[in-house]
Structure 1
């Protein structure tokens, strides 16, 4: 069979994404590249439950299979391998930042290829490509000026990377993606907590980010950030120094109680977030008061 010729009777795989007629301009290498966007409708996205990490799960369909919308929220330039959340391709124009990103092109490619080998930035992306793009973005934002809120963005990126690595582990077991997920969860703890510190010290206006996700289906705002600081510390924080752990969990408990009014619902507080916060508050109280780690 000649390559590219479809066999008679062969069914065409239903499209999940399309290539936009409007190309994306990379501010780093100054070149244009095709932009892939996800299609919606016709039963592609069947929303399932919301996890305690505020991650929306989707029910696979017979026609389209499993779909992961978050892999389409990132763009990556196939020329210089710089990657951003789509809006930042237009927003980031600080020449010093862009020069630093360009200078680390080869370093960035090598680092990502070591974790997500054989990724491709020119084809219709799959789960591996999507995870690679997120890792490229994480390394790209390392070089971005604080005025563009890179700490808060890296917090979101690392949490999503942990989710994607868990999905990769499910699809390709035995390739250490579970271990990679654990590393990204720990990085997420650091970036979420650092974003709050930077906000408090007025170093970086983290709370002004328009969409803090953490997933693509709903923006849980700054309340969601405070909740995730506590949740991630509780689930994935260190356990070697028990005194330090209990101190951090107690601080998280106080922060959650302050923001959510000890469980009093208001119109401003999203219902699912309030429910998850109540559960987390109870779990934190149990561990802090008892001094013994509890599974959440």
Structure 2
């Protein structure tokens, strides 16, 4: 099955996505379904700017309109609404399936409060894609440590925040901006927790092959460290002031150490290094302002 979108100024329809021929079986409720995949190429994606959160924005094209790659990144069972990234979806351990089944009504109700009429049997929309990402954030609670669930919750929370931003632009005054902020605060918590667990040996990051955080480029472990510091600056608690200061000072040391700031370095060229320099300066400016008060 192919998904189509009306092309502006054209009578014919153009393809945006398709449903896979091979069925997928839900490990929780045993439902068989087909996953929707986004078609690539053909001018569907026109790359726009890269944000400080390493989120790639895309411009709408005359032929395809607005296309959101992130809405296709999560596999969702249309029956029980279990959701995860494609590689993890069929690999939910048997001992975790009862937990996922017991939480079925809870996750459906949680999404229903935000999107009362969402449908995972039809083609993905911005709303259903956001709902799918939110479900994945919740469902990674079912996975054990060898899957690196904490960092995946950080990534899905951040992506969910970006999608709520898009919804807020399209449908303002419906509190999507508040939900975006909430998700980004969750992302800040999960990124810090994931790095802490990795450094203390509680949960390795080896279960994650693609750090993203977006679909256009994998910024790896260094990208995760950068985001941990950035999210702390933007979304971390402001009080108590001493805790805020300690968290920012730690973030600045991490950025300086990893990216070699303060001395010449050509080992890490590209946008990540430039954004890390900007972040270092922003953190330093806030710390200096506090010293001057």
Query: Which segments of 5 or more consecutive residues in structure 2 lack a partner in the other structure?
Result: 1-9
Aligned-residue CA RMSD in angstroms?
A: 1.6
Q: Check if 1:96 corresponds to 2:95.
A: yes
Structure 1 residues 176 and 156: CA distance shift in structure 2, 3 A? same
Counterpart check, 1:53 vs 2:43: no
Q: Is the 8 A contact 1:192 1:225 kept in 2?
A: yes
Q: Give distance in 2, aligned partners of 1:104 and 1:270.
A: 45
Asked if residue 78 in structure 1 is aligned to residue 78 in structure 2, the reply is yes
Query: What is the aligned partner in structure 2 of residue 43 from structure 1?
Result: 43
Aligned-pair CA distance for 1:54: 0.2
In the alignment, is residue 106 of structure 1 matched against residue 105 of structure 2? yes
Matched residue pairs, number?
282
Q: After superposition, give the CA deviation of every residue in 1:140-162 in whole Å (9 maximum; x if it has no partner).
A: 11121111111010000000000
Deviations 1:1-49 (A, max 9, x none): xxxxxxxxx9343221111111222111122111100011111011111
SS of 1:217 mapped into structure 2: coil
1:210 Cα deviation from its structure 2 partner: 0.7
TM-score, length basis structure 2: 0.92
Cα deviation code 1:108-131 (max 9, x no counterpart): 100011122211101111000000
- How far off its partner does 1:218 sit? 0.6
CA distance, structure 1, for counterparts of residue 135 and residue 269 of structure 2: 32
Q: Which residue of 2 aligns with 1:280?
A: 279
Name the TM-score, length of structure 1 as normaliser: 0.92
Q: Give structure 1 regions of 4+ aligned residues with deviation exceeding 3 angstroms.
A: 263-267
Q: Partner residue of 2:30?
A: 30
CA 1:120–1:266: 2 relative to 1, 3 Å: same
Q: Does 2:145 align with 1:155?
A: no
User: Contact (CA 8 Å) 1:54, 1:214: kept in 2 or not?
Assistant: yes
The CA deviation at 1:289 is 2.3
SS in 2 for 1:262: coil
Would the aligned equivalents of 2:50 and 2:56 in 1 still touch at CA under 8 Å?
A: yes
Distance in 2 (CA, whole Å) between partners of 1:265 and 1:37 is 40
Aligned in 2, Cα 1:12/1:102: closer, same or farther, shift over 3 Å?
A: farther
1:142 match: secondary structure: helix
1:196 paired with 2:162, answer: no
Rounded Cα–Cα distance in structure 1 between residues aligned with 2:231 and 2:82: 28
CA deviation digits over 1:214-247, x for unaligned, max 9?
0011110110111001101111111132221111
Counterpart secondary structure, 2:14 = coil
> Aligned-pair distance for 1:256?
0.5
Query: Is contact 2:23-2:35 (8 Å) kept?
Result: yes
Partner in structure 2 of residue 121 of structure 1: 120
Q: Is the 8 A contact 2:119 2:128 kept in 1?
A: yes
Q: 1:59 to 1:265 in 2, by over 3 A?
A: farther
Residue equivalent to 1:230: 229
Instruction: Tell me the distance in 1 between the aligned counterparts of 2:183 and 2:96.
Output: 24
State the match for 2:7 in structure 1.
Answer: none
Work out whether residues 98 and 144 of structure 1, in 8 Å CA contact, stay in contact via their aligned partners in 2: no
Please give the alpha-carbon distance, in whole angstroms, between the structure 2 residues aligned to 1:202 and 1:240.
29
How do 1:199-218 and structure 2 match up within 5 A? 199-206=198-205, 209-218=208-217
Q: State the shift of 1:251 in Å.
A: 0.2
Deviates more, 1:239-248 or 1:258-267: 258-267
Say if 1:169 and 1:177, in contact at 8 Å, map to a contact too.
yes
Gaps of 5+ in 1: 1-9
What secondary structure sits across from 2:15 in the alignment? coil
